[in-house]
Amino acid sequence: LDEGIVLDDSSLSGSDFPLEEITLSSASSPSLNPIWIEGGDGDNGDGDGDGDGFDSLSDGGGGGCLGRTWAKVKGIFVKPPSYHPRTISLHPQSVKVDTNSTLPQNIVSNQKYTPVWTFLFVVLYNEFKFFFNMYFLLVALSQLIPVLRIGYLFTYIAPLVFVLAITVSKEAFDDYQRWKRDREANSQIYHKLTSGGLQPIPSSDIQVGDLIHLNKNDRVPADMILFRTSEQTGATFIRTDQLDGETSWTLRRALSVTQKLDSDASLLQMSAKLYATKPKLDIYDFVGKFTVTDAGIGGSSVDYTEAQVEGVSLDNTLWTNTVLAAGQGVGCVIYTGSETRSALNTSMPATKVGLLDLEMNRLAKVLFGLTVVLSFLMVAVGGFKGFWGIDLFRFILLFSAIIPISLRVNLDMGKALYSYWINRDDKIPGTVVRTSTIPEELGRINYLLSDKTGTLTQNVMVFKRLHLGTSSFSHDTVDELESSLRRGYESGTKSKDKGVFASKKGGRKSVEETVRTAIEALALCHNVTPTRETEGSDEISYQAASPDEVALVQFTESIGVTLWNRDLTTMTLKTPKGKKLKYDILHVFPFTSETKRMGIIVKERKTNSIIFYMKGADVVMSKIVKSSDWLDEECGNMAREGLRTLVFGMKVMSESEFDSFEKRLKKAKSQIHNRAEKVQSAVESIEKGLELIALSGVEDKLQESVKPTLEMLRNAGIRIWMLTGDKIETATNIAVSSRLVGHSQGIYTISDVNDSSVAFSHLDVFRNKKDTCLVVDGASLRYCMEGPHRELFAQVATAAPSVVCCRCSPTQKADVVLMIKEYTGLQTASIGDGGNDVSMIQAADVGIGIVGKEGRQASLAADFSINQFSYVSRLLIWHGRNSYKRSARLGQFVIHRGLIISFIQAVFSALFYFAAIAIYNGWLLVGYATFYTTLPVFSLVLDTDVTEEIAFQFPELYRELQKGRALSYKTFFVWVAKSIYQGGVIMLLAIFLFDQSLYQVISITFTALILTELVNVAFEIHTWHWMMIACEVITVIIYFISIAVLPEYFDVTFMVSGEFVWKILVIVLVTALPIYLGKFIQRKCFPASYTKLK
C-alpha cells in the first residue's frame, strides 16, 4: 500500500490467508451493524520458543521435571493464541448474535496466576524449586517414619509451615490487588455508536468492528482506525506517553473517505470493508485498506466515484493506552485484548529471584554435601555396624542444622527492614519499594539501562541561542532582538524575488530586516498546531510531535510573532503590531531520520509570494544552503554546550518554478515502483541555492542533578545505556549534554541499516575503536541483534563506555536487557517513567520506575519507585551497599550458627561410640536458633562498614561489591573452618576441664556455645549501634533466666559455682581469641579498601 499498490479481495484470500467468516454482535446491542472478520493463520510470538504462546514457567531458574510437567498441563488445558489478519465488513443491516468468536476479549489482565486454579501449584513450585525448602520438606516428612524420628516432630514441621504460610499469604494478597486494579480498568465505560445513538459499554465488552466514540482525554480502550474527528480537516492529536514514552502530542488523521460524511451516524449507513494485517509488535508501522463497496450511502451527499479505495497507514491509527488529546473522534476497533500493540509489547512479570538468594541456594547444596560426607564418616569410623544405612540417614537428620531453615527467615526479615529504611529515607522522599525480596541486588548492578524522555530529561525544551551570521542573540539579549523585530516590521518591505528584506535605499539589508526574515522562518517552518481550550480564546498552547519545534514557536511568540491558527491547508501569523498574515500551505516535507531535514512551501496571500523554507541538521543543510564562513564554527560551539541545533534556509520561488516542481512531484507520487525515492528526488531538485537565514539552539532541560549522578555511577563502575524512542539527533545531543558521553570520547553511529551484512561491517569497524560511544537506531538494532551477529553486537556493545539506542520499541528495549544478561551474566537495572518502559523494567534484574509526567504505569510495574533520576545514586551507592553487605554477613553467620552446633554434635557422637543420639533436644534446640541467638545475630543488619560521606565521596568502593566478594566460596569456607575449630574446641575442652562432671556436659557445652556466639557477633561489627549492645545484654539476661526456670536442662547449683564460671571463660577465650587475632592481623597486613579510607 505504501507503494500505491491496491490489493483486491482475491489477492488476500489465497493459500497465505485462509478465510474464516465470523459474525460478531452484542447481546446488549441488537441494533449493531453486521461485521464479518476474515482471518488467516498467525504465530503466537510468546518468545519462549515452545510454540504455546506463554512464557515458560521455568524461566529464571528451577525448571526440571516440575517445569516440564507444567508445560504439558498448560498445553492440555490452555489454548495458545493465534493471530490473524482481518477484513471488517460494515453493512446497514442487522445480524444475529454469534458468541463463538475466536478473537480475544478486550480485557486487561495483569494477574500473575492465570488461570486462578494454578495459584497453589505455581506458588509451591516456586518455593520448592529452591533446594532449601525441598530439603526441609523431605526432612520434615522423614520424621513421620518412627525409625528415623529424632527429637520432637514439631521442631522440623512448624518452621517449614510457618515460612510457606507467609509466602502463600503474601502472593495471594498481591495477586488479589492486581485483580482489583484489572477489574477497575475493564469496567471503564465508553460509548459505542449504534443506530439508537451512543450506547454506554464497558471496556471489557468492546469487540472488533465496534465504532467507539471518544472524547478529549479519553484513553483509547482498543486498537482502532480513526474514522471521524470533530475537526473539519479530520486531524486530531493523541498522547502516546504510555506507549512509546514521548510526552509530546502526535498528529493523527481520520480516513478522508469517512471524514467527508455528513455526520457520525452516516457511518452506520455505509457499506465498506476495512482490511487490517495480523497483529504484530511494531508500534511504528501499520498497513491496511479501506474500500467503499456501495457508492450510494444513505443520508450522505458524498460522491465516491473517485475515492472508493483508501490506503490506511500509521497516521490513521489509535493504539490502546494512547489518549485523545484534542477534540472528539470515532474509531473502528481492529484489535482487542491480547492482540493490541500495547499488550503485545508488554511481557508478564516474572518472579524475580535475587543473585544472593541463588548463591545461598548453591551454598545450601554444598552444605548438604558436607552433611552427607560427615554422616558417612561417622558411620565408617564406627565400623558400618548393624543397619548402617538407617544410621547414615539418622546422622543426616541429626546434622540437618548444618542447613538452617532460619536462614530464609532471617534473610527475608532483613530484606523487609532494608525496604522499610529505603521507604523512610528523607533524602529520597517518595521512594517506594514494591519488591521487597531483592533490595540487596541494588549493590551488585553492573549495567544501568535508562530511558531518556522524562527520565534523564524533563522533556521541556528551552530556547537558548539564535545566530544570524552578523549577529547573535541569547536569553540575555532577547530585548534587543525584540526591538529589532519590531523595527523590521515597521520599516522593511519584502522582496518578491530575493526572499529577503531589501532596505528602502536598496543597499545591504539591515539587522532589523535580517531578524524579521529569520523569525518568520522559525514561525512558519514546522509541524506545530496551536490549540485553545475555548473557541476564540487568546490563550494558545502548541502541540507537535517534536518538542524542539514547540520551543521555537513559543520563542517567536515571546518576542511578538505568534502562530495564531493552522489547519491542513492554511497558517496565520500575528505580528507584534497585531496584524495577521495569512499563508496557504502548499506542501509539507516532514522530517525523517533518513533526510534529517524538514521543509514547507507556503504562499503569502497578500503578496502571492511562494516561499520554500527548510530546516535540518547542520551536516545536511551545510550542503544545501549557500556557503558560509560562520556556520561550521557556530554549530560546533552550540554542540559543545549540549544544544540541539537547527539550520534554517529559504528560497523564494516563481510561479513557473513552483508549477514545474509540482508537476515533477505529482508524477513521482503516481509511480508504483520506488515511489519514495522518486518523491525525494523531486524535492531535492528545489533544494539548491537556499539562502542561509539562521542557526538556532535549544536545550532539552535535564532532570535535576543528572550530570553528577551519571558521573558518580560511572565512577562506581556502572556502564550506562540510554534506550529511547526518540530520533538519533535528539538522543545524541542529550547524551552529550548529560555527560553520558565524555568530552574526550568519540561517537560512532549505526543507522539506516537494512541488511545483516551491512550491520556486520559496522560492528567490525566499531570493535577496533577505543573509548568511543555507540549510537544505533531501532531499525539497525534489529539486524544487529538477529541471527549470527547477536553475539558480536553483544561483545562490542558491552565493551563500549556507553551505548545509545534510538527509535526503540518497548520489545526491543526488553530484548537489549535480556541480551546483556545472557552475554555477560552480570546484574542489570532498568529505569524509566513511561508505559513503554514496563517491559524493559520487568526484564532487568532490578526495575526502577520514576513517577513523572508520563503517569505511574512504570512506577507501579517496577521493583522500586522513585520521584527523580538523581535518587538512583543513593539507592545504589548507599542502600545497595548496606543491603548487600548486611545480607551477606547475616546469611553466613546464620550458616555458621548451624555449623558450629552440628560439629559439637559430631564430636559428641564420636566420643560416645558414634551413636546417632542428639546432644541437645527439645527447648535447647529450638531456643538456640531463636531466643538465645536471634537478637544478636539479626542486629548485624544495623552494621555499616563505611560512613555515608565516604560511600559518596569514593563511589569506586562500589566496584568491590560488583565482584561479589562479600559472599563467595572463599568466605564461606573460612566460616566453615571457623565453625569446625570452635565446635571442636568447645566439646573437647568441656570434656578435658570438666572430667569429673561429664554428666553436666550439656549445660557446660551449651553455655560455652551461647557465649561464644555472642562474642563472634561482637567481632563482626564495624560500627556499634546502641541496639546492638541492647540485643547482647537482653540475650544474656534471657539465658540466665532460662537457667533458673528450666531445671530439667540446667543444674543451677553447679552453674553458679566459681569453678564452672572460670572454666567456661577459659573455653570461650580459647575459641574466640585466635579468631580475633586472625582478624587483627588481616586488617593490619591486608586491609580492605574501605578500612583504608576510614
Helix, strand or coil, per DSSP, at residue 310? strand
Half-sphere exposure of 560 (CA within 13 A, CB side): 20
At 688, the amino acid letter reads K
227 close to 254: Cβ distance less than 8 angstroms: yes
Tell me which residue has cell 537428620: 397
CA pseudo-torsion sign 478, 480, 483, 487: negative
Q: Where are the alpha helices (DSSP H) in 808-947?
A: 810-824, 838-843, 857-861, 871-873, 881-911, 923-929, 934-938
The rounded distance, in Å, linking the Cα atoms of 1068 and 992 is: 14
Contact (CB, 8 A) for 70 and 128 = no
At what angle are helices 355-381 and 406-423 packed, to 10 degrees? 160
The alpha carbon of 64 is separated from its chain's Cα centroid by a whole number of angstroms, namely 29
Q: From CA 870, how far away is CA 428, in angstroms rounded?
A: 9
Measured between alpha carbons, how far is residue 527 from residues 250, 591, 955 in Å?
A: 10, 9, 45
CA–CA separation, 575 vs 490, rounded Å? 11
The distance of Cα 500 from the centroid of its chain, to the nearest Å, equals: 50
Mapped onto helix, strand or coil, the DSSP state of residue 790 is helix
* Residue corresponding to grid cell 459474525: 23
Distances (CA, A) of 492 to 22, 612, 649, 734: 68, 20, 19, 39
Q: Do 1067 and 989 form a contact (C-beta atoms < 8 A)?
A: yes
Amino acid at position 456, single letter: L
Contact partners, residue 271, CB within 8 Å, separation at least 6: 89, 90, 91, 92, 292, 293, 294, 297
Distances (CA, A) of 188 to 181, 219, 325, 330, 396: 11, 10, 18, 17, 59
Q: Sort residue 742 into left (φ over 0), alpha (ψ -120 to 50) or beta.
A: beta
Write b or e for each residue in 171-194: b if 16 or more Cβ atoms lie within 10 A of its Cβ, otherwise e: beeebeebbeebeeebeeebbbbb
For residue 789, the 8-state DSSP code is: G
Strands 846-850 and 864-866: parallel
d(CA 15, CA 1014): 78
Cα 771 to Cα 750, 801, 1024, distances in angstroms: 16, 7, 44
One-letter amino acid for residue 859 of the chain = S
Give ∠ CA 260-263-269 in degrees, rounded to 5. Answer: 90
Q: Is 451 a residue of the active site?
A: yes
**Given its phi and psi angles, is residue 548 left (phi above 0), alpha (psi -120 to 50 degrees) or beta?**
alpha
Give yes or no for a contact between 585 and 612, defined as CB atoms under 8 angstroms apart.
no
809 with 346: CB under 8 angstroms? no
Q: Can you tell me the distance from the alpha carbon of 1021 to that of 340, in angstroms, rounded to the nearest whole number? A: 55
Q: 175, 264, 391, 451: which is the annotated catalytic residue?
A: 451
Q: Which of 966, 834, 829, 974 is nearest to 899 (CA)?
A: 974
3-state class (DSSP) for residue 935 = helix
Residues involved in catalysis: 451
